[in-house]
Structure 1
């Protein structure tokens, strides 16, 4: 009786398995969904741009975490846009996209798409496009270096972090200047050190500046107010045409 019962159960299981296999399927599909790129951004054009026919360098500025959302005026509250709003002039274009999220990291693909739009509409020197980002924007700067290595000539991540395992994808001709505060209790100094050391192992042109006694909120202006940063940045140029 027991043997007959087990045989019946086994037979039923095999039947169910065979029936299930007949119904199962795995089909290759291609998504046709589209993602609207509705990034807000600020664009700064230097004095003389409107009457000139020359191409200009362009700096991508990626703000910190407290300026995300839908109010573009928040982006002017600190960093490069605030310096501009306070009257400081620069000899380059500045593209400042706003992270649409107040909690998540920058949507890097959308940033790159909006940048392409800006480049198409303005006279940009394609060999002199740079990225400067602070805090959450520093994470964005590292991500752009890894995901779009042929676009940018130089990167200046300030108090950021990222995935060191993808740094081998960065452009061998790009340069890096990493900034961090020694007293940063929001993004640990070690986050920048690990990435910098990985760049050096990969034989990238990179340097690291640590501001002693400076915390997370203070390192942004400490880096941006360093005139050497801008002198260094404007000397960087990709030898190949960016994609």
Structure 2
């Protein structure tokens, strides 16, 4: 057995001596083929002011290529119903009906939006529900310098990367106790990690609320909007 093993190692060594790896660089660009909805406040056109911006990431059943689906829930539905907000709302559509949000594409599209509209870059917020809640956590981890506040609703994610989040960012996490789709424990684990990192974080556990109801329970909390608009980064992100 030892002799056979030594022979195999010798063969591998001989093969490795002849192997070659070349250095290369990809020139492929990331396509920003995302559909999105854009809301501007009533006084935007008549003003020269900069406005806060909310990035809204929808739930799992609104992905695909039909942008009208995004209006069926969340902030876009509230806006379609006539509700007005004192901030811009950027609502990208997940091009996949099955996969998580492609957050790199969302970030590229967000940069484009921020270059087109008058955005107060110290007051950019990301919030999302369910699959969009997962995207919200991921955006906070991957692009920490962008967001003054992060609001995941019934989402989840990787707690190990929360150490990458911005120390100046505020978090408000929502989850229902009766959620049978995304366990409440997913949010609790992430929240507790934020607390351990001494982040500015709060958690609302909504008693008796299931997955389908927690989105509206959170968005109809008037305190959320008052809190959100108070959040501001100390310095303008680059």
Q: Which of the five TM-score ranges fits, normalised by the shorter chain?
A: over 0.9
Q: Take 2:199 and 2:51, find their aligned partners in 1: how far apart are those partners?
A: 25
Kindly provide the CA deviation profile for residues 176-220 of structure 1, in whole angstroms up to 9, marking residues without a partner as x: 000001100000000000000000000000000011110000000
Name 2:78's counterpart in structure 1: 83
TM-score (norm 1): 0.92
Q: Distance in 1 between matches of 2:155 and 2:49?
A: 33
CA distance in 2, matches of 1:66, 1:185: 16
Choose from 184, 191, 203 the match for 2:179.
Answer: 184
The structure 1 residue matched to 2:190, chosen from 161, 170, 195, is 195
Deviation at 1:34, TM superposition (A): 2.3
- The offset of 1:117, in angstroms, is 0.3
Q: Is it true that 1:67 corresponds to 2:62 in the alignment?
A: yes
Partner residue in 1 for 2:209: 214
Cα separation, partners in 2 of 1:14 and 1:118, compared to 1, 3 Å: closer
Q: Any idea what SS the aligned residue of 2:69 has?
A: helix
Counting matched residue pairs gives 232
Distance change >3 Å, CA 30–CA 227, structure 1 → 2: same
Aligned to 1:75, the other structure's residue is in SS state helix
User: Secondary structure in 2 aligned to 1:172?
Assistant: coil
Mark the runs of 5 or more structure 1 residues left unpaired by the alignment.
1-5
Query: Residue 143 in 1 paired to residue 124 in 2?
Result: no
RMSD of aligned Cα (Å): 1.6
Seen in structure 2, the aligned counterparts of structure 1 residues 183 and 27 have a Cα distance that, compared at 3 Å, is: same
Q: Secondary structure at the match of 1:27?
A: coil
SS in structure 2 opposite 1:73?
Answer: helix
Correspondence list, 1:24-103, <5 A: 24-103=19-98
CA 14–196 in structure 1, closer or farther in 2 if over 3 Å, else same: closer
Structure 1: distance between partners of 2:12 and 2:155: 54
The structure number with the bigger radius of gyration is: 1
Residue 219 of structure 2 is matched in structure 1 by: 224
The 3 A distance-change label for structure 1 pair 215 and 117 is same
Write out aligned runs for 1:7-18 (5 A): 18=14
Q: Distance between the aligned counterparts of 1:187 and 1:21, measured in 2?
A: 47
**Per-residue deviation at 1:16?**
9.5
2:30 and 2:105 in contact (8 A); partners too: no
Listed as ranges, the gaps of 5+ residues in structure 2 are none
Structure 2: how far apart are the matches of 1:146 and 1:31? 25
**1:35 offset after TM fit, Å?**
2.8
Q: Would you say the 8 A contact 2:37–2:90 is kept in 1?
A: yes
TM-score, normalised relative to structure 2: 0.94
